[in-house]
Structure 1
């Protein structure tokens, strides 16, 4: 498993997957805090079977809009 903070294009995560595999580790999934929804998820899924993000850019922007409107849920 690779854990990353932010996924944008997926480049740095894919590099981490490749280095980990060269070291003999089995990497089948990635967990990221934020998916910026800029194509990284699709790129990473070409290298692993599973990718889970805690938040997406869309979700964060929706929460921000709610907060700006004075709605706290």
Structure 2
């Protein structure tokens, strides 16, 4: 599993966080399942982050729950 990580542009200053398109390319090239949007969700929500680039307990819980769902859909237990 490849986890897409946000990169920060000028839009991040106003809360618009996005993932680098490189992750889509790498997942396709190496035929990996790509887990997207979890960190974008966390870092776009002030209630789920401890500072501009780190999640808090609520954010990490969101990431863990979302990744668990993703892995189950991919056939992992």
Normalized against structure 1, the TM-score is what? 0.31
Q: Name the structure where strand makes up a greater proportion of residues.
A: 1
Q: Decide which structure has the larger Cα Rg and report it.
A: 1
Q: Name the structure where helix makes up a greater proportion of residues.
A: 2
Normalized against structure 2, the TM-score is what? 0.30
With CA pairs under 8 Å and 6+ residues apart, which has the higher RCO, 1 or 2? 1
